[in-house]
Structure 1
Amino acid sequence: MDFTECYGDTVSGVAAAARSGCRKRVRRLLKRGCSVDCRDNRGWNALHEAAAAGSKECVQDILSAVGGRTRKESHTNEDCTFVLIFCPLCCVSDDKPHICLIEFTGLLTAAVQPRGCHAFVNSLTHEGESACYLAAQRGHLAVVQLLLKSHANINQLTNDLSCPLYAAVDGGHKEVVELLVRKEAEVNRTHTASCWTCLHQAVYKGHSEIVRILVNVCNLEAVDDHRISPLFVAAQYGQQECLEILVKAGANVNTQAADLATPLLIASQEGHQACVDFLLDHGADPNIACSTEWPQFPIHAAAEFGHIGILRRLTAVTDRACNRSNDMVSPLYVAVHGHQSKSVELLLREGYSPDAQDCTNILGLRSPLSVALCHTSIKPYSESVRLLIAAGATLSEEDWIYALSTDKTDLLQLILKHRWIPRPESLTRDCSVPHHQGKTVLKLQELRDLLCVALNQVHFAACWLPLLMEAGMEPSLLVQAHMLEQADTEVLNYLLEFVNWSTLSAPLKHILDRRQAEKTWEPRPHFGSIPFLYHMCRLQIRSVLGPDLLMTTNLVHQLPVPPSLHNFLKFRDIPDVSFPHSPPSPLSNRIQGYRSTHQHIYVL
């Protein structure tokens, strides 16, 4: 049944008149003897209608009609004069009226709990709403005052656990709230299924003037079913003025909910800059662990949701131990996971390490870069990947798979744009020079992982091999047995153009001879003879300068040779290889396959 609709054939005439606030019509109907307690399909009677409409006069007339047919008897004793008031609606039997009230020298005091009158003024709708509740909900101050004088239950709960005070708070009716508080309404009772108090609701709605009233009488640390305090609610919903009132009243700024979240964390998550600033200025601790699963701080929430202003403020006050400590999690992880490249950029600029710590045991994540790469689904790489690589994030074996186990070269080009392949003489030790020509130098382990993945991904060599050669990689590092056995003709011929094929070791020459005999490799004609002098010359220049300087700088232009030889010295005359285009399997499958089948090939 729809209790929000009142049908004309179920509502009484008195109730209809009261709803419209027509006092004359109400009086006329009452004189005719019409009932005031007839209910409609919502359980509303005439008093409910009058209270909801805010008609004080109609409420007075209806209450008078209920208690108007009274009989008074005056009595005097030694101490005082009193009047017994008999109410016919409170009869025990038809001929025995019940003593409802006693009047002492003009003061009306309840002697015996009234039955009929009291029951009528506190009658409830089907939703458990009293007339006092309906009036308070709508802010009808005069009606509430009148009903309270008529002994309305100030703390009567509705079916959904609301009450007149909670309804007035929810509606922002300050004067009604003041009246109910003054009349000692219960202020700390919990309401709604979430166990909110009136103070929770006032803060949630942002009724700051009502909050000023309630903080003087309410428990500031009252918590709901999630152990959330009113101050936490203010921070969560950005109610700055209410937050300031609560803090000044003495509320705890570091209160924690059931999941250990603090007001500072929730304000940082929701992006309420003013609340974050106020909390930090008034003692909120940014280094309280706010999660039962891992030590999450407010800075993590700001980073994950991209609230840059808040993140900037928190980087200045958060303990940097979260940057690299093994038992913590760098905010870079959540920034990357939340696809918040601006957060990533700010954190890197503020000195957070692009490598962070290995969080495999905590989150199942190895590094921020691995998170960024595994989230790369549509684009070749995300902005977070670019930022991390540019900042010098260490490239692991798995990271190189993303760059080499594909026919797309975007990621490898990005890496080579920011990373410098070191000279051969540096390969036996870790590079001591962190940067070269504005690029971060690949560490020894990074280069080892690169070569290991490359030699296990020969199928894609047509894509990555030219890029590595142009980036100055020493080709002898790739002239390995596995490469010579697995590479197709184009790739193998391309690689041999960068070396003196006549000086290959006997085992490698044996592989080439066998493949030629099996007709799995067709060498270029000049591979059968000693290299030409001009090829030997450029190999010598490459050796003297180093492949890195020769291939990636303009140093060759300073050599005393004709300009027409510049491209030749850079091996630009070697034709590119084409990739045999077969649709590659999904990257996740290739990574899984690599993990299960790859061989660790050490060439350094």
Structure 2
Amino acid sequence: MDFTERYEDTCSTIAVAARHGDCRQIQRLLRRGYSVDVKDNRGWNALHEAAAAGSSQCVRLLLTAAASCENYVNSLTHNSETPLYFAAKNGHVQVVNRLLKRGADINKMSNDLSCPLFAAVDGGHMEVVKLLVSKGAEVNGTHSTSDWSCLHQAVYKGHTEIVKFLVGLCSLEAVDDYGITPLFVAAQYGRHECLQVLANAGANVNCQAKDLATPLLIAAQEGHLSCVDLLLSHKADPNIYCNEDQWQLPIHAAAQFCHPRILEKLIPVTSRECDQGKEKVSPVYLAVLSGQADSLRPLLRAGYSPDAQNCRQFDYCCPLEMTLWCNSWNSDSERHQSREITQMLLAAGAHVMMPTYVFALQGNVPEHLPLILEHAGLPKEDHLKELVQTALKEMQSAPFWLPLLLKAGLDPTLLLQHKMLEEAETRVLNFLLEFINWKTLPSTMLQILARRRAEGTWTPQKHFESVPALTHLCRLAVRAAVGSDALSKSSFVQQLPVPTLLQDYLQFSDISSAYTYTAA
């Protein structure tokens, strides 16, 4: 049954009259002997109805007619609400005054732990609040299931004038069961005027909730710029760590929830210890985690390292690695932002570590490997050998990574290993062979190719039966002389004493353009 509705068939006749403020009807019914104490299915009697409706004269008549005024004035609904509670909740100051004079319990709690003062504060009824306080209402009690005080509720509802009235009476540092003060509530919900009143009254701007969050952290997280400004102007400390692991600061919240204007406020006042400090977490990680380039841009512009530190908290070795992993499960609509973030990190000088190369080779985020190779190129020496071995373990992705690695300057002969010859599919193997002299392969390799051809697992290009063209042999000789890495750079090739028409040919563009490869 829905007890929020009023069912007239369970409501007494005199209560109906009280609900409508019909004093004459009440008088007629009283003369005929009707009871004033009949309750409906919510436990309401006529006095509850009159108080809620704000009919002071009906209240007077009902109290006069009651057998026991003291008991009647404090009669309870099924939720333990009194007539005074309803009068206060609805802002009926005259009814409140009359009920108090007749002995109403000013601090009676309802089942949900509310009281007349809390109800008046919640409704923003200043006159009723002042009247109740002047008559002795408890201002520092807790009046909700989460232990909020009246000041908490006034701030939450944004009733600035009531907050101004209560700050001189209430404990400014009262906490709920989460350790949250009224000032924290103001910061959390963006109640700028209430926050200013509390801060000016001396409330602690650096208070911490049970989870160690500060008002500055919560304001930064929720994007309340004016509250952040106000807190900083009242000496809120941006360097108080807001979790037990001692790494989370307000700047991290602003970065994660993508509030760039707040970031710009926090960057100059936040200690750079978090940038690359051991066991700390750079806000760059949180900006990457947000997936919003606007969150990363001000940090890099201010000089935060694109490499940050090894982050055990998120289990990533660098922000670039986080970008790739996070983007691997993003939707297509989110990948554009991730690509921009990758470009920003690389442009800022992020070092590409081997795990990042390895992940990029798998082709889960195909747009990233070209970016990495364009900005960072191939790894050097032993790391290059490791890259090749890793690539060969990802043979299912070879159609994706092979043309990209060769374009970036990888010596194709490094890939001429048994695993490549044994496992590569036809299009991959044919593509690779176009970059070498296929007639001068070692006999063991030629045997593998012959066997695969006989088995029908490899179909060679027809021209592989012939000796390579002289022009092809010439460009192989040039590559051997200058190196694959140098030949991959257009700026180098353009300086060679060869006609412009041959420059693309030296870079094997005719081969690359004839093949189209995508991620597996």
Fold match, TM over 0.5? yes
Deviation digits for residues 346-396 of structure 1 (CA, Å, limit 9, x no counterpart): 322222222221123x23333222222122234477233333333333333
Aligned residue for 1:591? none
Aligned residue for 2:249? 297
Shift of 1:195: 0.9
444, 447, 469: which one aligns with 1:514: 447
Shift of 1:168: 0.4
**Residue pairs, 1:396-415, within 5 angstroms:** 396-406=353-363, 409-415=366-372
Structure 1 residues 531 and 407, CA gap change in structure 2 (3 angstroms) = farther
Aligned residue for 2:316? 365
Shift of 1:261: 0.9
Q: Does 1:321 align with 2:273?
A: yes
Structure 1 residues 136 and 518, CA gap change in structure 2 (3 angstroms) = same
Shift of 1:324: 1.3
Q: Does 1:258 align with 2:198?
A: no
169, 184, 197: which one aligns with 1:232: 184
Contact 1:407/1:460, CA 8 A, preserved across alignment = no
Q: 2: distance between equivalents of 1:574 and 1:9?
A: 89
Contact 2:418/2:445, CA 8 A, preserved across alignment = no
Structure 1 residues 237 and 313, CA gap change in structure 2 (3 angstroms) = same
Contact 1:516/1:522, CA 8 A, preserved across alignment = no
Contact 1:234/1:242, CA 8 A, preserved across alignment = yes
Q: 1: distance between equivalents of 2:426 and 2:42?
A: 87
Deviation digits for residues 233-270 of structure 1 (CA, Å, limit 9, x no counterpart): 11111111111111111111111111111111111111
Deviation digits for residues 476-531 of structure 1 (CA, Å, limit 9, x no counterpart): 444455545554565455445545678x7xxx714223324534577778878987
Structure 1 residues 5 and 579, CA gap change in structure 2 (3 angstroms) = closer
Shift of 1:409: 4.8
Contact 2:351/2:376, CA 8 A, preserved across alignment = no
Structure 1 residues 518 and 36, CA gap change in structure 2 (3 angstroms) = closer
Structure 1 residues 35 and 390, CA gap change in structure 2 (3 angstroms) = same
Code of the aligned partner of 1:26: I
Aligned residue for 1:276? 228
Q: 2: distance between equivalents of 1:61 and 1:175?
A: 24
* Partner SS for 2:511: coil
Shift of 1:546: 4.7
Larger deviation: 271-280 or 411-420?
411-420
Larger deviation: 170-179 or 188-197?
188-197
Contact 1:373/1:402, CA 8 A, preserved across alignment = yes
Larger deviation: 200-209 or 402-411?
402-411
Code of the aligned partner of 2:119: A
Q: 2: distance between equivalents of 1:65 and 1:15?
A: 13
Structure 1 residues 578 and 460, CA gap change in structure 2 (3 angstroms) = farther
Q: 1: distance between equivalents of 2:81 and 2:230?
A: 40
Q: Number of residue pairs matched?
A: 510
Could you say what the CA RMSD is over the residues aligned between the two structures, in angstroms? 3.0
Contact 1:484/1:511, CA 8 A, preserved across alignment = no
Structure 1 residues 528 and 188, CA gap change in structure 2 (3 angstroms) = same
383, 390, 395: which one aligns with 2:352: 395
**Residue pairs, 1:17-166, within 5 angstroms:** 17-66=17-66, 89=67, 116-166=68-118
Code of the aligned partner of 1:472: G
Q: Does 1:463 align with 2:420?
A: no
Contact 2:400/2:517, CA 8 A, preserved across alignment = no
Q: Does 1:192 align with 2:144?
A: yes
Q: 2: distance between equivalents of 1:216 and 1:408?
A: 59
Q: 2: distance between equivalents of 1:18 and 1:489?
A: 91
Q: Does 1:450 align with 2:387?
A: yes
Deviation digits for residues 195-220 of structure 1 (CA, Å, limit 9, x no counterpart): 11111110100001011111111111
Shift of 1:570: 2.4
Shift of 1:55: 1.3
Q: Does 1:538 align with 2:445?
A: no
Code of the aligned partner of 1:509: P
Identify the structure with the greater helix proportion: 2
Q: 2: distance between equivalents of 1:494 and 1:41?
A: 84
Q: Higher Cα Rg: structure 1 or 2? A: 1
**Residue pairs, 1:319-398, within 5 angstroms:** 319-360=271-312, 362-375=313-326, 376-377=328-329, 378-379=331-332, 382-383=338-339, 384-398=341-355
Q: 2: distance between equivalents of 1:53 and 1:509?
A: 100
Contact 1:396/1:449, CA 8 A, preserved across alignment = no
* Partner SS for 2:110: coil
Deviation digits for residues 83-107 of structure 1 (CA, Å, limit 9, x no counterpart): xxxxxx4xxxxxxxxxxxxxxxxxx
Deviation digits for residues 162-203 of structure 1 (CA, Å, limit 9, x no counterpart): 111011000000000011111121111111211111111101
Q: 2: distance between equivalents of 1:532 and 1:14?
A: 110
Shift of 1:50: 1.7
Q: Tell me, which stretches of 5 or more residues in structure 2 are unaligned?
A: none
Shift of 1:4: 3.3
Code of the aligned partner of 2:318: S
Contact 1:400/1:449, CA 8 A, preserved across alignment = no
Shift of 1:416: 2.5
Structure 1 residues 517 and 206, CA gap change in structure 2 (3 angstroms) = closer
Q: 2: distance between equivalents of 1:9 and 1:415?
A: 76
**Residue pairs, 1:440-589, within 5 angstroms:** 445=383, 447-480=384-417, 482-484=419-421, 486-487=423-424, 491-492=428-429, 494-499=431-436, 509-520=442-453, 534-535=471-472, 537-542=474-479, 545-574=482-511, 584=520
* Partner SS for 1:574: helix
Shift of 1:312: 1.7
Percent identity at matched positions?
53
Shift of 1:579: 7.8
Q: 1: distance between equivalents of 2:173 and 2:48?
A: 35
Code of the aligned partner of 1:55: S
Structure 1 residues 276 and 580, CA gap change in structure 2 (3 angstroms) = closer
* Partner SS for 1:518: helix
Code of the aligned partner of 1:196: W
